[in-house]
Amino acid sequence: MTVQASEHDGLHIDPYEKRWIMLSIILLIVFAAAVAVSAFAFGYQVPLPEQRVNPLTITESGPFANPGLRELAPGKYEAYIVAHIWSFTPNEIRVPAGSTVTFYVTSQDVQHGFLIQGTNVNAQVLPGYVSKLTYHFKKPGTYTFVCNEYCGLGHQAMYGRVIVEAP
């Protein structure tokens, strides 16, 4: 009678299923820990909130009025890029190999994307908001960046290049 009573209380779970659930929980904890460490300890971070801007006036004043590449120190650059229907301004950036570039991207009109193929630079570009991502270009070559959010009929033509020159 006691055996029956304990089967009627609480959840009756098959022992194999219990083991499977425990393993699943452990797996998820491992994933979460790996992600937390890589992001918050090693700095492989997603874009964090940057400044707000007025999309109607960004080309008149402020850093996006003269978009382009600025050298802060040897090997350290900032690139201000304006996304608009249907191109990036500027659409070509040249840096020497080994440079670290911080990209600041915003939109003048609709939502765009900014994805540098072959890198972790991937941002949703919104009017009124600035997307900031930094990348260290070790290898020389041409890195294509594309708009990866639908923005209208010319979306597929919206791209540019980061040209990383050999020393």
Partner 1 sequence: MDVKAFTFERKLAAWNIGVAIAALAIGTWFGPLQAFEHAGLNLYKWLAPGIKSYYQGLTLHATLNALIWTTFFIVGFFSLTIPYTLNRKLRYPKVNLAALIIMIVGLLLAAVPLLLNQASVLYTFYPPMKADPLFYIGLTLVVVGSWIAGYGFYFTLYAWRKENPGVRTPFIAFASVVTMVMWQFATLGVAAEILGMLLPWSFGLVKGTDPELARTLFWWTGHPLVYFWLLPAYVSWYGMVPKQAGGKLFSDTLARLAFWMFLLFSLPVGFHHQYVDPGVPAGWKFLHAILTFIVFLPSMMTAFTVIASLEMGARARGGKGLLGWILKLPWKDPSYAAQNLAMILFAFGGIGGITNASYNVNLVIHNTIWVPGHLHLTVGTGVTLTFIGILYWLLPHLTGKELFSKKLGLWQAWLWFIGMIFFSNSLHLLGLHFGVPRRTAMGMAPYNLPEWRPFQIEAAIGGFILLISFLLFLVNVLGTVFASKPLEKPVEMPVAESVQDPQLTPAWMDNWRPWLAATVLLLAVAYGPILYEMIRSAQFVSPGFRVW
| CA atoms of 57 and 126, how far apart (whole Å) | 14
Of the residues 130, 137, 162, 164, which one makes contact with partner 1 according to CB under 8 A: 130
Q: For residue 53, give both structure tokens.
A: 């801007």
* Neighbour tally for 129: CB within 10 Å: 19
Tokens of 3: 């055996």
3-class secondary-structure state, position 159: strand
Which residues have CB under 8 Å from 156's CB, separation 6+?
none
Of 123, 137, 162, 164, which lies in the binding site for partner 1, with binding defined by CB under 8 A?
123
Query: What residues between 39 and 78 interact with partner 1 by CB under 8 A?
Result: 39, 44-50, 52, 54-56
User: Of 38, 138, 139, 165, which lies in the binding site for partner 1, with binding defined by CB under 8 A?
Assistant: 38
Under the rule (CB under 8 A), what is the footprint of partner 1? 7-14, 16-17, 20-21, 24-25, 28, 31-32, 35-36, 38-39, 44-50, 52, 54-56, 85, 109-111, 113, 115-118, 120-132, 144, 146-153, 155-157, 159
